[in-house]
Amino acid sequence: MSAVAVVTGAAQGIGKETALLLAEKGYSVTVNDINGDGARRTVAEITERGGQAHVVEADVGVEDEVRRMIEETASVFGRIDVLVNNAVVYDHEVHVTDLDIVSTPQWNWERTFAVNFHGAVYGARHAIPVMLKNGGGTIVNVGSTSGFSGDTVHVAYAASMAAKYSLTRSIAASHGKAGIRCAAVATGLVLSPTARKNLSPDKLAAYDANLLVPDFAEPRDVAETIVFLASPGAKYITGQTIIVDGGFQAHQPWHAQNHIVHPETVR
């Protein structure tokens, strides 16, 4: 029997590429998204390539829907070995109203935490008992480097990411000896379909000036890290948040203005 993975938010972007890559590695995959049509397209790609996949349309911000997703996966595939908590809420209405601590409305805080943080809580809560029936498993929580750095906007989003990384450490500590590993991936800007659609050339240029690598990541690049963390090759990695951001967190904040701050380095 093949190993089984559940990937949330897998209709597009990083989640989709993660589901496709896990299927390539031989996993049977439950593809989840609130966008059922998109999730079904991901499943179709997996099956067309000879893999096994099952779709569960569900809102991970609602615990009963997450419980149904986990129970349905266990019923269809018989086990769960990997859970990738990738789903986040970042639609236009949420994006433009998540500003600062004074301005961000309460409904935004509640929806952002329901999906970004509580979705991971619900997933782990219901998947871990199923994993333990077969000796353990791995949880990978996917977030953003926003959880490490303050900004002038997106206060709720950033706080939910920081909470997700704390949750990662707590799961690793509480269930590690029982056979559950838990790690997280913090991404920088990734050229997902949403990013390509929403970011102006000026914004992309500002990001690019602060990259320490030649180009932006594609969703598949992040999926490679997620799938590695889920694999036996990462069996000694737990409780950690791996930063996949092209070097944004690795340099001084004036990197892009280095020719002004440190003119002696200009060649």
Residue entry with tokens 């929580």: 141
56 contacts 66 by C-beta, under 8 angstroms = no
Give the C-alpha distances (Å, rounded to integers) separating 105 from 1, 102, 152: 48, 8, 16
- Torsions phi, psi for 193 (to 5 deg): -55, -40
**Catalytic positions, written as ranges:** 157
d(C-alpha 163, C-alpha 168), whole Å: 9
| CB neighbours of residue 162 within 10 Å | 18
| CB neighbours of residue 169 within 10 Å | 16
| CB neighbours of residue 47 within 10 Å | 13
> Which stretches of the chain are DSSP H helices?
13-24, 36-48, 63-77, 92-97, 106-116, 118-132, 155-175, 193-198, 201-209, 219-230, 258-261
- Torsions phi, psi for 32 (to 5 deg): -110, 145
